[in-house]
Amino acid sequence: MIKRSFVGLTTPSFEYSVKDSSISGPQKVAPSKTVRLIIESPFSRSVALKAGNEVKTGQRLCIGNACAVSGVTGKIASVERYVNQAGKACTAVVIEVAASEQIDDAFANACRSNPRKAAQEFLANAPGNPPMSLFDEGKGLDTVVICGADSDLDIVTQQQVLEQSTDAVQKGIAAIKKITGISNIVAVAPQSLMQKAGSIGASAKVVSNAYPAANPYWIMKDIIGKVVPAGKSWEDLGVCIMSAEAAASIGRAFDEGKAPAEKIITVVKKNGGKLLVSARIGTLFSDVFAAAGISVSGGDRIIVGGPMTGYAAYAEDQAVEAGTDAIMVQGASDITPVSDYPCINCGECARICPAKIQVNMLVRFCEAAKYQDAADLYDLHCCIECGLCSYVCVSRMPIFQYIKLAKHELARMNTAEATND
Ligand code: SF4
Ligand code: SF4
């Protein structure tokens, strides 16, 4: 079933990586000259953010209701159009980093008057992407799952955070309990980290190392004991799932009185070697590669995230974001190209699908842009986005990408219909 390696000559496996002493770091990466912050709002020439504006570390930079928090002190060099990997129109703010750092005290002041609002305003793009629904009073959440296991293969970021920043995760859990009143906190982690998971003020549960056991839908089914219905999310069942790093960010923010900005990333080199780095949000990939001793040549592929669910970055001047858990560089000779060969109906995809979807049929409808039929007839919304079907497809069809596109287009069409109603 497992036919090809992800990088170099490493043996492919459907088991999660376990962090061990062979993985060095985290090595600190300083931005060499500029950082690039992404604000999820379309670019407009009339925005208040302008080249030349001074920015402090921890300062909110907003366009309309969308904001990013600067992880550095410096001066805005440019404000540009940017389209993210999901095709959403955003704005990139490029900041020239100053030699000395000044901390913005707005978060500390906001905390004193209203910690819940301070979290909502300043922590949405903190390392680990804390889910803001957690602080929404009308959401009806009664359980929080803190995930100290990594959600894709070859990544050890969340394990690193749970192991080395246990104190910050524990403080985060205490803050969550105090602000939200939610007392049912569950920490899930690999067996090797059970002792840590049991020491942070949560009930500890083991997650298997067989992929995709750390997928949120799988955690819900196997650990929380609730099956998420098609088209719904775990939040509809009263459960908030967040990474250990998100909890650590909340803990550090309230402990230190400033929004954290240092992101832990697993870097996978072309030969399969791994190391951990720590970089400010907005740091360019080129700076990460320079620090990790990686040279990227024409034809190599940069993957943001893991080998099963990550996406390709198109340039080295893309930047570390709050959810960038891993960056992989695949050598040109290791890349298995996707193809436009037709499906030969071998059934490999359907046999491996953990959601028991008839993927060979689903992909036909997605490929033909019959998105509503894909949802109504072939369980598009039951897909848990594990990527296994793409990996095993003998025709090398980009099935996972077809599925993601189908979901994206359906969501866009439904939003447009709701707006027109
Ligand atoms: S990504 Fe593919 S294998 Fe995974 S749940 Fe979706 S259809 Fe099934
Ligand atoms: S694995 Fe690929 S070729 Fe085989 S049935 Fe699925 S989509 Fe078709």
Note the pLDDT tens digit of each residue in 253-272. Answer: 999 999 999 999 999 999 99
In a domain, residue 4? The reply is no
What atom in ligand 2 is closest to the CA of residue 395? Answer: 3
Q: Is residue 9 predicted with pLDDT exceeding 80?
A: no
Ligand 2 pocket, residue 360 CB under 6 Å: yes
Q: Choose the final residue of a domain: 222, 256, 290.
A: 256
Q: Is 398 in the pocket of ligand 1 (CB under 6 A)?
A: no
Whether pTM > 0.85 for this model: the answer is yes
Could you tell me where the beta strands, DSSP code E, fall in 142-271?
Answer: 143-147, 184-189, 203-206, 239-243, 262-268
Ligand 2 binding pocket mutation candidate from 353, 363, 366 (most atoms within 8 A of CB): 363
For atom 2 of ligand 1, the residue with the nearest CA is 389
Give the long-range contacts of residues 289-292, CB within 8 A, separation 24 or more: 289/316, 289/329, 290/32, 291/27, 291/29, 292/27, 292/29, 292/267
Q: Give yes or no: residues 100 and 114 share one domain.
A: no
Dig out the tokens for 293 from the structure: 């001793």
Q: What is the mean pLDDT of residues 16-41?
A: 91
Identify whether residues 182 and 272 lie together within a single domain.
Answer: no
* pLDDT band at residue 4 under the 50/70/90 scheme: low
Token output for 95: 């900041």
Structural domains of the chain, count: 4
Whether residues 237 and 143 fall in one domain:
yes
State the ligand closest to the CA atom of 387. Answer: 1
Any ligand 2 atom below 6 A from CB of 349: yes
Whether 324 and 359 map to the same domain: the answer is no
In tens, the pLDDT along 53-111 reads: 999 999 999 998 899 999 999 999 999 999 988 888 999 999 999 999 999 999 999 99
- Alpha helix locations (H) across 334-398? 348-352, 359-367, 371-378, 388-392
Per the structure block, which two tokens stand in for 391?
């990996």
Q: Is the CB of 400 under 6 A from ligand 1?
A: yes
**Which residue among 334, 363, 383 closes a domain?**
334
Alpha carbon 126 to its chain centroid, in Å, reads 12
Residue 345 CB less than 6 A away from ligand 2: yes
Residues 126 and 86 both lie in one domain: no
Same domain membership, residue 119 and residue 246: yes
227: three-class secondary structure by DSSP: coil
Query: Residue 1's pLDDT is what?
Result: 47
Nearest CA residue ID for atom 8, ligand 2? 343
Alpha-carbon distance of 261 to 249, in angstroms, equals 8
Owning domain of residue 409: 348-420
What is the structure's pLDDT at 418?
A: 67
Q: In the chain, pLDDT over 90 holds for what percent of residues?
A: 84
- At residue 340, the pLDDT reads 80
Measured from the Cα of 386, ligand 1's closest atom is 4
